[in-house]
Structure 1
Amino acid sequence: MKRNLQALGLTAALLAALLLGGCTGQRPDGENATAETAEPTPAAEPIPNPLTGVADGDYTNRRPVAVTLRTLEGAQPQWGLSTADVLVEGVTEGTTASLMALYANADSISKVGPVGPGRDLLLQLALPLNALPVHIDKNVYASNLLNTLSYQDLDGYHIGKAAFAFDQDRQNAGYREENCWYTTGEMIQNGLSTYGTSLEGANTPLFVFGERPAVAEDARNATTLTITFSADDSEQLVYAADTGLYTKTNADGSPTTDTDNGQTVGFTNVLVLYASSGIKDDGYTRDYDMTGGTGIYLTGGGWEQIQWSKEDATGPLQLTDANGQTLVVSPGKSFIAIWGGYYGQGLTLTGADGTEQTLPEKPALLESGISDEDAAAAQAEFDARQKIIDAQAAVEQATAQLSEAQTALEEAQTALDADSSNEELIAKRDEAQALVDSLNQTIADNQAILDAAGVTATPAPEADSGAESGE
């Protein structure tokens, strides 16, 4: 009886196995019966760098970072320029251009700064990329734009040392405090974590990237580009055939270098976006029509005229060539200048043979803009007033120094009278005489300026004689 039950159990188990095999289309001998094997899901292609178009890693689900840098006097040299994928520059306030460095990979930021305040003009090119804006403070226009869009930034004014650090060695070297703050990729990630967020998210390619035909050596008509943002803020981008890059220079003509690693800053692509400009309602901040305009594109030593457009602050940059076809941009790093062409700004481009190129006409002014004639008249009036102020100050300073110089001369002459052959006393007398002559000449020259303007110089205060009179 027990053997019969065991045999029955084996029979049932075999029947179950056959039934299960039939349900899955599997025969006892292991061959498929009716069901087909599911195809494996293909792996997604890695996304190349959205800012350079270079396939140097997988940028899937990785947001770029946009760091505003300080550019005013004392801000240079700056950290992090050579590792930036894109630099964007344009005047936002005053006469000095603001600068923004874009990085597709925050991990590449070993040190960037000095970090400056956010500006709405720069945000216009960062937001369409889904980039994280990083700055220390921001003007009201940038603040309003971010608030309207409910767009999270990383502002050192609010988050402080959670995402920013102070370079004490730089301050010890004589730099002002505001030019000593910097950040890193790690600190940026730490700062975002305090908001419960990260740099994970979609990204949008900056341009349509693709290979372009090489520019023949005898056709390189775009080797030196000079961008004048203002009388005291001008720079060049010079093409180097051996590297294929445009090297950026400072206002004094020296190469722009990254103080973090000493590397010279260079770009495969240079774009100048012409934008009509005016003045915002605060009477100081520059306003630009960022919906579109003409421009120029340089790469490989050659150039062409382009058109650009943007739907709104978050709309991506659209570029077309002279035929209205989508512009194909060479893979590599880019420099983008936003140029209004208003009074005091200039743009020149020369080829390898030194021939100056004929560039597109400068953009028209916005209604709030100031014409060249009115700007020139205002500049002339300002210069005239400043000349009077400088002349008054020069007369007052020279007059205040003259009495002491004359006393020194008299003492030197008295000593020389007692020892007329003493060469040391002769030299001392001549030096004192030269100083008196120089001060008198300074007074005469600047008094002539004041006389021509019908202005009387304010006399230098006389020495207090109270001590001698017993008061």
Structure 2
Amino acid sequence: MKRTIQALGMTAALLAVLLLGGCSIFGGAPESGADSTAESAQPTAEPTPQAEPLPNPLTGVADADYTNCRPVAVTLRTLDGAMPQWGLSSADVLVEGVSEGTTASLMALYANVDNISKAGPVGPGRDLLLQLALPLNAVPVHIDKNIYASNLLNTLSYQDLDGYHIGKAAFAFDQDRQNAGYREENCWYTTGEMIRNGLSNYGTTLEGANTPLFVFGERPAVAEAARNATALTVTFSPSDSEQLTYAADTGLYVKTNADGSATTDADNGQQVAFTNVFVLYASSGIKDDGYTRDYDLTGGTGLYLTGGAWEQIHWTKEDATGPLQLTDANGQTLVVSPGKSFIAIWGGYYGQGLTLTGADGTQQTLPEKPALLESGVSDEAAAAAQAEFDAQQKIIDAQAAVEEANAQLPDAQTALEEAQAALDEDSENADLIAKRDEAQALVDSLNQTIADNQAILDAAGVSAEPTPAPEESASSEG
């Protein structure tokens, strides 16, 4: 019995040794004794995965983290005297299309408000432009807006930043620009800091989700021989067109104005350029006010230019807040090159046009223009109305020319008589001869102006009395 107890005691002692020194038998000695063994037995916490930085939702370029960063959409004025505008070169996207009158309105989209050093002159908000800004969760920035833009924002309870209400809390006046001869409405601008300050008055923040404008990805390089889209002209009206020309050395489309001058940023003098150019065909008509353009923005065909080449695309959009969806000719999601974009909304109605040429100068055959909405005016009716307007305007111009010439003629004749009288006393004076000939030329020119324009009035069966100007559609900014 005693031997048995001793044996049990030895067995227990051996078991204790095995338990305490088990790591040395099965896996080597512990690094720091029993405490280290106990700690190693605890489960190791998995590291919290870090979210990948979001690339720029408007360009697809990973130049910063755009997580929780709402874009900003600034409407810029485009009527006579508004150019050059501030903030064009820093914009990620420019959107242009006729909303009212015959001049296209313009919106600059910025993925990061802090990239706006100066943007303007700030124009009135338009519902056409909002249709592309709202799906991005962008903050609309403008000074005043038309009733359709106001109704859209009110229906959606969507907060904008309107200088008509917020005033100098978010907008400033450039006195130097006015001193240089610009009209007052073309001198108001904003900055990223002022936009933040203005929104704080509404308790609105620029923190929030953003939605990529396109599906971005690398596209195969375009061979020089395949560059069939090197020069695009988008005509919004006979007096308003945009040219975009491909520069092979940069791979960008540079923008020029209707007169061929470069479209530059007033803030830094840089010419505006884009990696991508889109023309979205949209059936159009007239809204119930009789002059604001109406568009079917549920979808249509279009053009996509990049790398010097073009292809036909199809686009769809569910509603005002629905994102823009682009597919290629095969119905597959369109992959867009990372970079800045220019988007033209084009109705193809009377007075609008598109031309596209390749590197060899060959003019491309483009998709047929979109059909008009029921409220649209046919080309024939529009041409007849234009002809009637032009005829009335010709009469008005002729009347004005006759009146102005008749007003100047007495003084011109007096100057001629005085010059001739002086020459009669000193017939060899070369200066007096030149003065007499100059006075004679002015009198002859005025008489010819009167005769030419009186003939126009006679043909139209009207007198030279002033005639009220013909009424025309409002030419307020689109």
Does the TM-score normalized on the shorter chain lie above 0.5?
Answer: yes
* Cα shift readout 1:17-44 (whole Å, capped 9, x = no counterpart): xxxxxxxxx9644434765222111101
Instruction: After TM superposition, give the deviation of residue 354 of structure 1 in Å.
Output: 0.4
* CA–CA separation in structure 2 for the residues paired with 1:73 and 1:29: 80
* Cα shift readout 1:294-323 (whole Å, capped 9, x = no counterpart): 000000000000000000000000000000
* CA–CA separation in structure 1 for the residues paired with 2:444 and 2:232: 47
Instruction: After TM superposition, give the deviation of residue 263 of structure 1 in Å.
Output: 1.3
TM alignment of 1:59-458, pairs within 5 A: 59-458=66-465
* SS across alignment from 2:49: coil
Instruction: After TM superposition, give the deviation of residue 71 of structure 1 in Å.
Output: 0.4
Query: Contact 1:27 / 1:33 at 8 angstroms: preserved in 2?
Result: no
Query: Contact 1:342 / 1:365 at 8 angstroms: preserved in 2?
Result: yes
Stretches of structure 1 that go unaligned for 5 or more consecutive residues are 1-25, 460-471
* CA–CA separation in structure 2 for the residues paired with 1:377 and 1:50: 46
Instruction: Compare relative contact order (CA 8 Å, sep 6+) and give the higher one, 1 or 2.
Output: 2
Amino acid at match of 2:264: T
Amino acid at match of 1:199: L
Amino acid at match of 1:216: A
* CA–CA separation in structure 2 for the residues paired with 1:155 and 1:107: 19
* CA–CA separation in structure 2 for the residues paired with 1:422 and 1:230: 55
* Cα shift readout 1:107-142 (whole Å, capped 9, x = no counterpart): 111111111110000000000000000001101100
* SS across alignment from 1:428: helix
Query: After the TM superposition, which of the residue ranges 437-446 and 427-436 deviates more from structure 2?
Result: 427-436
* CA–CA separation in structure 1 for the residues paired with 2:465 and 2:138: 57
Identity of aligned residues (%): 86
* Cα shift readout 1:259-279 (whole Å, capped 9, x = no counterpart): 111211100000000000111
* SS across alignment from 1:270: strand
* Cα shift readout 1:226-259 (whole Å, capped 9, x = no counterpart): 0111111112000001101000111211111111
* SS across alignment from 2:326: strand
* CA–CA separation in structure 2 for the residues paired with 1:240 and 1:172: 36
Amino acid at match of 2:54: I
* Cα shift readout 1:77-117 (whole Å, capped 9, x = no counterpart): 11110010000000111111100000001111111111111
Instruction: After TM superposition, give the deviation of residue 172 of structure 1 in Å.
Output: 0.8
The answer for the alignment partner of 2:61 in structure 1 is 54
Query: Contact 1:235 / 1:253 at 8 angstroms: preserved in 2?
Result: no
* SS across alignment from 1:336: strand
Amino acid at match of 1:226: T
Query: After the TM superposition, which of the residue ranges 165-174 and 415-424 deviates more from structure 2?
Result: 415-424
Amino acid at match of 1:293: G
* CA–CA separation in structure 2 for the residues paired with 1:401 and 1:419: 27
* SS across alignment from 1:411: helix
Query: Contact 1:86 / 1:102 at 8 angstroms: preserved in 2?
Result: yes
* Cα shift readout 1:38-66 (whole Å, capped 9, x = no counterpart): 21111011111000001111111100000
Query: After the TM superposition, which of the residue ranges 192-201 and 35-44 deviates more from structure 2?
Result: 35-44
The answer for the alignment partner of 2:16 in structure 1 is none
Query: Contact 1:392 / 1:458 at 8 angstroms: preserved in 2?
Result: yes
* SS across alignment from 2:38: coil
* SS across alignment from 1:360: coil
Amino acid at match of 2:297: M
* CA–CA separation in structure 2 for the residues paired with 1:30 and 1:152: 61
Amino acid at match of 2:111: A
Instruction: After TM superposition, give the deviation of residue 197 of structure 1 in Å.
Output: 2.0
* Cα shift readout 1:271-291 (whole Å, capped 9, x = no counterpart): 000000111111111111011
Query: Contact 1:305 / 1:322 at 8 angstroms: preserved in 2?
Result: yes
Stretches of structure 2 that go unaligned for 5 or more consecutive residues are 1-32, 467-478
Runs of 4 or more consecutive aligned structure 1 residues displaced over 4 Å after TM superposition: 32-35
* SS across alignment from 1:101: strand
Q: CA RMSD in A?
A: 1.3
The answer for the alignment partner of 2:21 in structure 1 is none
* SS across alignment from 1:427: helix
* CA–CA separation in structure 2 for the residues paired with 1:185 and 1:278: 36
TM alignment of 1:22-33, pairs within 5 A: 28-32=35-39
* Cα shift readout 1:427-455 (whole Å, capped 9, x = no counterpart): 12111111111111111101111111111
